[in-house]
Chains A and B, each alone.
Chain A
Amino acid sequence: MHSLKDYLRLYFMIETQYIKARMQYRADFIISSIGMFFSSLATLGIFWIIFHSIPDLAGWSFMQLLFIYGFYMIAISPMQILFDHIWQIRFHVQQGTFLKYYFRPLNMMFYYMSEMFDIKGLTQLAAGIVILIYASIQLDISWTLARIALLLLTLFSASLVQISITLLAGCAAFWVLDSYPVLGLAWKLREFAPYPMNIFDGAFRFTFTFIIPLGFVAFYPSQLFIQPEEVSAWVYLSPLVGIGLFALTYWVWTKGVNSYTGTGS
């Protein structure tokens, strides 16, 4: 019905309108942006303070960890920006207001996604970019065109991993009455993501690599840039993880949407 081009244009149109509308609530925007900015600053501060006393963490230097952290911040931003309203999905599903997504000649996930654009997430994105660039300069990473393309690809798929994990948890709303805890937990799990996998025990490492692939949100993809010579070939497959996980999430979403019948008869 609609081509990809149509969707892109439509999306751009709706989001600019949303941003315009949101900008009117300046106070809200500013508080949250400042909040986000300072929280990132605080975490960085902690990192720095710790590293003030130690040479490395499990074999990783401060700059390397900084790179991973910057990567992490960029990777989690799209989730924040595009799906921040996932927290309300349970409410909409139970009140029946979720039905409105069925009535337009639009793909439902697109429609759902288009209704949110969280500006304060852009602050997080910007902070992440700054940190990443700074760290990569300090680490003397040589940026060829191919490298940059790889970076964009891995960032894209890493963000898909984060989006998928959270969205999957959000889909619980279609089947379970009290789905908030599931969502909240899935969201909190991301706290594991900015750290190197080798600080975790075997069981955790296994989980974060194969079951809930948080390792692919920042750590594994970062390897390709901070330690390209020592990386095993399969790490180059990391983009597939994001894409594959998102495909699974989309499938679950479709199932949820098809099984939802609204309230009342």
Chain B
Amino acid sequence: MSLIHLENLSKQFKILNRREGLSGAFRDLFSGDYRTVEAVAGVSFDIEAGEIVGYIGPNGAGKSTTIKMMTGILKPSGGTLLVNGLAPYDNRIRQAQIMGVVFGQRTQLWWDLPVIESFKILKEIYKVDQKMFDRHMDMFNELVGLKSLHSQQVRTLSLGQRMLCDITASFLHNPQVVFLDEPTIGLDISVKAKIRSVIKELNREHNTTIILTTHDLGDVEALCQRIIIIDKGRILYDGDIKRVNALFGAYRTLKLQINNFSETILQTLKSKLIECFGAEHGITIAENEEFWTDVTIDQARTPLSDVLSFVMNNFPVIDVRIVEISMENVVRKVYDGALK
């Protein structure tokens, strides 16, 4: 029996069709006018002990909903969900004992207290015996220099320090599975690297399963052996990261800001690029965020520099940015069958 077992899991929400204005708000209180939204529509996968799985998808994909069901916050609408053999929602307190959760932006430590006190409290809450507590605290100190932060109040820590404290704290009671949600968000490169190595080490120490939700593909590349992509409530891809890695590596997105941009220019851009570079599916063009156009290029097929110089020579480009492929684009690619 795998540690985490999802079979045809689904979740529907009833969303109130909110009406306008004050009288509308009043009537909302009594109305039964709902629409049903299917956040998760038949998701299945199994996760074994020790795996580090990247669980990614665009916003609104059903990612958080699945995680909330796995952590016992939400009750599934249908299907099977077992963590360590038990249904999380019906056994919240029991499951909490074997789980660790870290939310990127919000700490789970006690804000006004010194760091060490939070750990001591957690020791009591999770009934960690003294030996394991000492061993872990030593390990944490080796990994992140926790001792130097002991007497500082959590509220005074920098984001990076707080993140490291939250992550180590989530491993204190030797959980079987840890959910990390956006652990490196808002941090600079060196801190990100540090956090990634800490996570790796913690996973190695007790063979802890880790489920990582993130928008940062660097996290995924550094940590995960397996990746699950979800979009619109369904699993798009579940497998080895190497295949997706190849996809990431090759693609770049060229963000352009063109003067006097309009629908006609977009069409002209599209047709000219196809005309010039041939392969239609090597390059995809989309309009994104007020006046920026995304041109996604498969570098394996077409060198970025060629496209760039072409565009700059033929269109009044004001500004240019080159970024690695975004999550939305990865998903779109997978959706278009790029991984098949």
Whether B125 and A104, one on each chain, are in contact in the complex, defined by CB atoms closer than 8 angstroms, is yes
- Of A1, A106, A115, A264, the residue contacting B64 (CB under 8 A) is A264
- Chain B residues near A14 (CB, 8 Å)? 110, 121
Closest to B112 in A: A21
- Of B60, B117, B125, the residue contacting A106 (CB under 8 A) is B125
Shortest B130–chain A CB gap in Å is 15
- Docked complex Cα distance between A6 and B63 (Å): 35
- A interface size (C-beta, 8 A): 26
- Of A10, A17, A22, the residue contacting B125 (CB under 8 A) is A10
- Docked complex Cα distance between A14 and B72 (Å): 25
- Docked complex: B73-97 residues within 8 A CB-CB of A: 73-75, 92-94, 96-97
The yes or no answer to B101 lying at the interface (CB within 8 A) is yes
- Chain A residues near B93 (CB, 8 Å)? 1, 105-107
- Chain A residues near B195 (CB, 8 Å)? none
- Docked complex Cα distance between A107 and B125 (Å): 11
- Chain A residues near B176 (CB, 8 Å)? none
Whether B73 and A99, one on each chain, are in contact in the complex, defined by CB atoms closer than 8 angstroms, is yes
- Docked complex: B37-78 residues within 8 A CB-CB of A: 39, 59-65, 68, 71-75
Which range holds the interface residue count of chain B?
35 or more
- Docked complex Cα distance between A37 and B63 (Å): 52
- Docked complex Cα distance between A213 and B96 (Å): 37
- Of A100, A105, A262, the residue contacting B97 (CB under 8 A) is A105
User: Given known contacts A18-B112, A21-B153, A261-B74, is B125 in contact with A105 (CB within 8 Å)?
Assistant: yes
Whether B124 and A265, one on each chain, are in contact in the complex, defined by CB atoms closer than 8 angstroms, is no
The yes or no answer to B279 lying at the interface (CB within 8 A) is no
Whether B96 and A262, one on each chain, are in contact in the complex, defined by CB atoms closer than 8 angstroms, is no
- Chain A residues near B297 (CB, 8 Å)? none
The yes or no answer to B210 lying at the interface (CB within 8 A) is no
Shortest B331–chain A CB gap in Å is 15
- Of B75, B97, B99, B110, the residue contacting A1 (CB under 8 A) is B97
**5 A–B contacts, CB within 8 A, in A order:** A14-B121, A17-B117, A18-B112, A103-B96, A265-B39
With A105-B126, A115-B110, A262-B68 given, name 7 new contacts (CB 8 A). A17-B113, A17-B117, A17-B121, A102-B71, A103-B108, A104-B108, A262-B64
